Chains A and B, each alone.
Chain A
Amino acid sequence: MADTITAAEPTRRDFLYIATGAVGAVGVAAVAWPFISQMQPDAATIAAGAPVDFDLAPVTEGAIVKLFWRGKLIFVRHRTKDEIASAEKVDVNTLPDPQPDSARVKEGHAQWLVVYGNCTHLGCVPLGHQGHYEGWLCPCHGSVFDTSGRIRQGPAPTNLPVPPYKFVSDTKITIG
């Protein structure tokens, strides 16, 4: 056994092997990084994400308007009294992704719902005013959203997310 122990004693050569290997590994990682990073959104794509203004005045009650920000679809929905009421009256704890309606709209602007327009399942565009809750119904795999854009049935795991936006006046929002 004593032999083995002496043989396992690290030598200068072992150190050189390991050091060379480590430098090599760092080198490979350093070269790989640009090849992975180039796949990320480029500067122009990110710059296209500058905030956009949207005028709410022409959107009549009950209508859903679509617009794009950063290449992503956004729904602006002018909700009716009934739609707001039905979104507010549900017991939040029974929802798959519990969120009260008030957390999804801006205070004092409950008639305006602004959400991303791609289903949180696999990205299709849900159809407005359809499905059991008359919010949205996704034609792809049948996810059902309510008038607050919350998932109620089907494979989508989460509610339609609310993009960053703010009211600049009563009839104008800035998205982004």
Chain B
Amino acid sequence: MEGHSTYVPKSGIARWLESRLPIGGLMHSSFIAFPVPRNLNYFWTFGAILMMMLVVQIVTGVVLAMHYTPNAKLAFASVEAIMRDVNFGWLLRYMHANGASMFFIAVYIHIFRGLYYGSYKAPREVLWILGVIIFLLMMATAFMGYVLPWGQMSFWGATVITNLFSAFDEIIPGVGTWIVTLLWGGFAVDNPTLNRFFALHYLLPFMLAGVVILHIWALHHVGQNNPTGVEVKNVRKDTIPFTPYATLKDTVGTVVFLLFFAWFLFYIPNYMGHADNYIEANPSVTPAHIVPEWYFLPFYAILRAIPSKLGGVIAMFSAVLILAAVPWLDTSRVRSASYRPLYRQFFWVFVLVCIGLGYLGAKPPEGGYTIAAQILTFYYFLHFLVILPVLGLVETPRRLPGSIAESVLESTKGGSATAVSAGPAGAVASPQTKG
């Protein structure tokens, strides 16, 4: 995918700069000339939406940090002051708090897009793993950000999540307690904990931005996947230049997403928050019903489903990390679920299971809820460890189009891209070959 830039600096200054730092050419080849498959749908605009959300979080976050005080005695009041006294403070804070939720909505759509269209398959494994790292960094950042307002949910969320590490005591006694004390800087979640979480909450988004650059570098090296999962074969026929086509489509997607964001922001800004977080942290009382932010609920449900402390912690972390292994767990040679009749059904079952886990994560851990969470947790891992590898071996994929261009032209002719595929049958039917 490299070497498609035809950048010629126009002005004298641009020529001078280009011969010293070829940044114009880099930008031109990455965002103007970069060839994108001509059949991308709106699910491919979520990358741009995520970039925008990262910028929104950093800009609002830096501004909030100018008014926020990272001290256990003052933090809660400083956030209330942001809400009441600072000009537009309410708006900036709601942008940041709801922005985090929007960021996760976008990232979940982006991840499921990848799972549906097989975007993790060769040669995009590293691209995918960088994505998993971004997801982990996002989770760490959001967790620590939620601690900063120092409300009841902040405090007890921090207590429960940091205590997860005490499970290591069950492997080597003392090690877990040592790690937890190190995280806290004391014998309980307290002022030192808040201070270090603030420093890390400020730092991690910039590390995240660094990984995003690697993610895009890898993307531009291997090229984008597309809804057919068929690789670009002829750059002239199968692709169109990033600008204006992808740029404009991304703009439309971003604006629609912003409308959605604005609806939450202006009409239901506390919908995704929790009322208990407007009560200041109190280390002697746990709220009757503590729940994490919605975007952690499926993982929280997995944690609680396992009746052993260490087992629950291991299951929860595995549920995220298993994503990194997906390129090797999925044995199918066909990327896109559009051509995998069985995988497509299992994909939607998996989506429902994740939503079900999210629902159960918000319910009290008793009776039927626990049993349901255990069944869904079992299925969650079954999907990755058994269904993905086995499906690739037993499933007969549908006939793939010969090329991206062919699939596009066929569908505009009105025929189904899969049923009427023209051309030499053998070549057309040959599934994707890996690596």
Contacts and interface: CB of A to CB of B under 8 A. Distances in A.
Given A155-B304, A157-B308, 5 more contacts: A41-B192, A42-B192, A121-B163, A122-B160, A124-B286
Contacts of B186: 41, 45, 70-71
Interface in B361-407: 364-366
**A-B interface, 3 closest residue pairs, ranked by CB to CB distance from nearest:** A122-B163, A124-B286, A123-B163
B312 interface: yes
A41 B289 contact: no
A40 B193 CA distance: 11
Which among A68, A70, A124 has the highest number of chain B CB atoms within 10 Å?
A124
B224 interface: no
Given A41-B181, A73-B188, A155-B312, A125 B304 contact: no
Interface residues of A, number: 27
Contacts of A40: 181-182, 185
B190 interface: yes
Nearest to A125: B286
Interface in B48-81: none
Contacts of A45: 185-187, 190, 192
Chain A at the B interface: SS class:
loop
A141 interface: yes
Contacts of A122: 159-161, 163-164, 166, 309
Contacts of B287: 139
Contacts of A71: 186-188, 190, 283
Contact of B188 (A72, A124, A142): A72
Interface size class of B (residues with CB under 8 A): 35 or more
Contacts, number: 88
Given A124-B156, A141-B365, A142-B365, A157 B190 contact: no
Given A124-B159, A141-B365, A42 B185 contact: yes
Nearest to A38: B185
Which among A36, A45, A73 has the highest number of chain B CB atoms within 10 Å?
A45
B427 interface: no
Interface in B145-193: 156, 159-164, 166, 170, 181-188, 190, 192
27 contacts: A36-B182, A39-B185, A41-B186, A42-B185, A45-B187, A66-B284, A68-B283, A68-B284, A70-B186, A71-B186, A71-B187, A71-B190, A71-B283, A73-B188, A73-B284, A117-B284, A122-B309, A124-B156, A125-B284, A125-B285, A139-B287, A139-B288, A140-B160, A140-B286, A155-B307, A155-B309, A157-B310
A111 to B, nearest CB: 23
